[in-house]
Chain A
Amino acid sequence: QKEVEQNSGPLSVPEGAIASLNCTYSDRGSQSFFWYRQYSGKSPELIMSIYSNGDKEDGRFTAQLNKASQYVSLLIRDSQPSDSATYLCASEAQAGTALIFGKGTTLSVSS
């Protein structure tokens, strides 16, 4: 069974701090990885995708991928209360037919 594992949290950080969210995946053949954000009662929305080893930056968000360790992370710099949400890590499975989602990490940013 292919899996994506995340700590459920909650992860609590003060406003302005760096939030670090991590996930591991079991399918060594996965090539594409995604971070979705889900506010309470809302649908998931994509915030970052990453396909190759290393870092990818987009504004306050940095995704990191290490395929050898099967590890994906998301850093949120200068965290804001509006970043409080559940963050879902996902990996591609079965040649683009599916995403395997982790159970999500809840982030709480206090002002």
Chain B
Amino acid sequence: EAQVTQNPRYLITVTGKKLTVTCSQNMNHEYMSWYRQDPGLGLRQIYYSMNVEVTDKGDVPEGYKVSRKEKRNFPLILESPSPNQTSLYFCASSILAANNEQFFGPGTRLTVL
């Protein structure tokens, strides 16, 4: 089944404790992106990747890191999480670019205490 998977789906952590949210797609897509969704603010792009080893900042990159060492995986790293990073996170992928259909993962609900 073609899909984007994210893990974990739910995470409660404490300020400053490094964490990684994994994202994997099995559709051989070039483009991958991370979003956060907050009430009243909508979906905002954190980072994106056009291809392996090619990543760039989105609208809200502060406090996040990403890597794209393999085409299928695009992990999101929070080196020192803070409460303002409490949010619902979505990973998405598309065949070539943002203006192709994006397939979203199921989401990761993160709470930082």
Report which residue of A31, A45, A92, A99 has the largest number of chain B beta carbons within 10 angstroms of its beta carbon: A99
Q: How far is the CB of B9 from chain A (nearest CB, A)?
A: 11
Q: Total contacts A to B, CB within 8 angstroms?
A: 50
B99 within 8 A of A: yes
Interface size on B, residues (CB 8 A): 24
Q: How many residues of A contact B (CB 8 A)?
A: 19
Question: Can you name 23 A-B residue pairings with CB atoms under 8 Å?
Answer: A31-B99, A32-B99, A42-B106, A43-B90, A43-B106, A44-B102, A46-B101, A46-B102, A49-B101, A88-B42, A92-B98, A97-B48, A97-B50, A98-B33, A98-B58, A98-B59, A98-B98, A99-B102, A101-B35, A101-B43, A101-B44, A102-B42, A103-B42
Chain A residues with CB under 8 Å of chain B are: 31-32, 42-46, 49, 88, 92-93, 96-99, 101-104
